[in-house]
Structure 1
Amino acid sequence: MKQFEGRTAVITGAGSGFGLEVARIAAARGMNLVLCDVQADALEKAAAELEGRVQVMARRVDVAKAAEMEALAADVKLRFGAPHFVFNNAGVGSGGLIWENSLADWEWVLGVNLMGVVHGVRLFTPMMLEAARNDPAYEGHVVNTASMAGMLNAPNMGVYNVSKHAVVSLSETLHQDLALVTDQIHCSVLCPYFVPTGITASDRNRPAELAADKPTQSQLIGRAMSDKAVSSGKLSAADVAQMVFAGIDGQRFYVFSHPHALAGVQTRFEDVMALRNPSSPFAAKPEIGEKLKAALREMPVK
């Protein structure tokens, strides 16, 4: 995309973290904003900050729910027409040994992290394609938020890994599919590593119908390790938002916040090509792996 002024951005998870910072940059570039979040107070605060600078439509939406996303898409089309930038960004975090995740854990994490992206793609991409067919000057870009957990498989966070690998796969397929039918719409996948955001406190927005069971010891251990890693991140959400727009400006598909983490991705691919068992993710810091192993093996047997 080369032109942003007067065009429309749809941003999910817009009340905090990457979504809010991307909305701030989009507003600075003169874009109309459709802000979506499941947390009403955070959404209202974001909308109040940005209203007056650009046109803002704020909607409380649970991205996991098809009907709510369908209503959102209809409202966007009615007010702004086809959007030009769609940031499928809403996400939640969850960990623990993979067999200890409850059905509710799977439904919640996959519902938000994967189906939220699915709904954004299936509802807004056809609008964008129609706009492109009708206007040779139309430009569009979709950015889906995955994670380095979509490229790697850290232990004790399986449900999250699964959701983010699916987003990477969806996004790579979207890139290929769009290339078959248009030169006017492109996409990127955002794979952040440890960046201080509110994702480690995701339970604050967990729906009552998918309430969590009492956390297992492995989930408590995973949460503590994630809290420490995320809170110690040196890059900010604002830094990552700048990377998102650099990716759009440069028409780059992969957007990595921490390129050094790609060494682990290379090792994983080499394992696959060599048909060898997965390498330890703690090779560079074995003390962390030993600490996690000791903590998990000391858990009481149920």
Structure 2
Amino acid sequence: MIEHFHGATAVITGAGSGLGLACAREAAERGMNLVLADVQADALQAAATELRAAGCTVLAQTVDVADAQAMERFAAQVQQHCGAPQLVLNNAGVGAGGLIWENSLQDWQWVLGVNLWGVIHGVRLFTPMMLAAAQADPAWRGHIVNTASMAGLLNAPNLGAYNVTKHAVVSLSETLYQDLALVSTQVGASVLCPYFVPTAIDRSERNRPQDGAAPLSRSQQVNQAMVSKAVASGKVSAEDVARQVFAAVASGQFYIFSHPQLLAGVRQRLEDVLAARNPSDPFADKPALGVQLRGALKG
């Protein structure tokens, strides 16, 4: 929980576009100092230029969050220039789908590296310095927000690798919340579970390392087309979600949902688990979509 944002420091990964950039803008409006990281240098520099022009103090670093050593250097720079950040948004993420057995080793390494290892590195590197700052000052407050997805609470078909990473981020975040509660009342945690929000996540391939990357399989092409359509038609904006994030941080709220109406599906899944029954049909309330997907995959 952070009651006062003005003058505090926010570290945001994936800050060059989408939810990361929207959160950076929201942080700037609240008078925070910004540390921005992104793997796409041109987008990051454009964001930094915009926010500096608005009067914000910005440290921008091109960083691949999947790279442990790069993240360690980044965290050391943050510590040196800003001290312990009050707010850490482990937000960087990529979208990838397709039938789960069609994901190549390179697919798995890329998606796990960014979506999961990026969050792991953010937690392992920034949490200790935040706890040290809290121990040194009883008035100090900090908060960590990890970006997961509604895919971390549901299991949509043809989206396997992405689902796996986001479920892991939800688990990591819930554990982080409980672990922090064991040792401090000054540092909190939240998990952000957005649904289809108009961002550039459907164009994640633009930042994918090309070494060993194979052409997309048919199921991956189908997934990309359907996700692009859903993302483009999203009615909840990145700016809407950013405001939700900061409201949650201010109130100490753990779960942040951009589309709470989807919790009915989460309830159905958990009821399936409790009853030890087979997973429910994900297309029960939208059969036409199921027909479309099956038809596209059979081709």
- TM-score by length of structure 1 reads 0.97
AA matched with 1:17: G
Q: How many angstroms apart in 2 are the aligned matches of 1:114 and 1:97? A: 20
Q: How many angstroms apart in 2 are the aligned matches of 1:188 and 1:58? A: 24
Alignment correspondent of 2:107: 105
Alignment correspondent of 1:119: 121
AA matched with 2:22: E
- 1:212 positional shift: 2.3
Alignment correspondent of 1:252: 253
Alignment correspondent of 2:5: 4
Secondary structure, in 3 states, of the residue corresponding to 1:4? coil
Alignment correspondent of 2:85: 83
- Report Cα offsets for 1:1-53 as digits up to 9, x if no partner: 11111111000000001110111111111111000000000000000011151
- Report Cα offsets for 1:89-145 as digits up to 9, x if no partner: 000000100000000000000000000000000000000000000000100000000
- Report Cα offsets for 1:130-178 as digits up to 9, x if no partner: 0000000100000000000000000001000000000000000000000
Tell whether 2:156 aligns with 1:154. Answer: yes
- Report Cα offsets for 1:230-261 as digits up to 9, x if no partner: 11100111111011011111110000000000
Gaps of 5+ in 1: none
Q: How does 1:1-302 map to 2 (within 5 A)?
A: 1-52=2-53, 53-209=55-211, 211-298=212-299
- Report Cα offsets for 1:31-81 as digits up to 9, x if no partner: 110000000000000000111512110000000000110000000000110
AA matched with 2:186: Q
Secondary structure, in 3 states, of the residue corresponding to 1:51? helix
- 1:208 positional shift: 2.6
AA matched with 1:152: L
AA matched with 1:23: A
Identity among equivalent pairs (%): 65
AA matched with 1:115: W
AA matched with 2:21: L
Q: How many angstroms apart in 1 are the aligned matches of 2:262 and 2:91? A: 21
- Provide runs of 4+ in structure 1 moved above 3 Å: none
Q: How many angstroms apart in 1 are the aligned matches of 2:27 and 2:287? A: 42
Secondary structure, in 3 states, of the residue corresponding to 2:140? coil
Secondary structure, in 3 states, of the residue corresponding to 2:285? coil
Secondary structure, in 3 states, of the residue corresponding to 2:59? strand
- Report Cα offsets for 1:240-293 as digits up to 9, x if no partner: 101101111111000000000000000000000000000011111011111111
AA matched with 2:229: K
Q: How many angstroms apart in 2 are the aligned matches of 1:282 and 1:137? A: 50
- TM-score by length of structure 2 reads 0.98
Secondary structure, in 3 states, of the residue corresponding to 2:196? coil
Q: How many angstroms apart in 1 are the aligned matches of 2:263 and 2:48? A: 36
Secondary structure, in 3 states, of the residue corresponding to 1:35? strand
